[in-house]
Amino acid sequence: MLSPKERLEELEKVLTELEELSEKLPIIVEGNKDVSALRRLGITKNVVSLSKGDSVLTFCERVSRKSREVVILTDWDRKGGHLARMLKETLEISGVAVNDRVRTQLVVLLKKDIKDIESMPTFIERLRYHPLGPARKVNVD
């Protein structure tokens, strides 16, 4: 199990990689709150929100006309996992290479504490400024 400091270091590596990827690839997120959260984390380029009212198929068709590779970064709750699979399958049928490795890394590092992109800035801030890690509920009987 990683210490809070080690986990923060790993998260920062993943975020640096995501920032580098965003220089050339679209980063697909679920909604506008996810776009804002990534901006707070310094990822400001090529973040594309699915919540524009399009169906997944229409969205994927539009993306496939512009990009040959994308990064899928949906939440890691049940809905986000289902959406990630749908996006991946639909984009790959259109010949688009899908990078879902970053999402997988975030799931491994964060799943026990948070379930979505929009919670990341606050969680990471807690790790940075509270050396014992994020506050946890303690049962007192």
Q: For domain 4-127, give the fold.
A: Dna Topoisomerase Vi A Subunit; Chain: A, domain 2 (3.40.1360)
Residues in the chain: 141
- pTM reported for the whole predicted model: 0.88
> In degrees rounded to 5, what are phi and psi of residue 112?
-70, -20
Q: Would you say 114 and 120 are in contact if contact means Cβ atoms under 8 Å apart?
A: yes
Q: Give how far the C-alpha of residue 137 lies from the chain's centroid of Cα atoms, to the nearest Å.
A: 25
Banded pLDDT at 118 (limits 50, 70, 90): very high
Q: Taking the domains of the chain in order of start, what are their residue ranges?
A: 4-127
pLDDT at 122 over 80: yes
Binning pLDDT at 50, 70 and 90, where does residue 130 land? confident
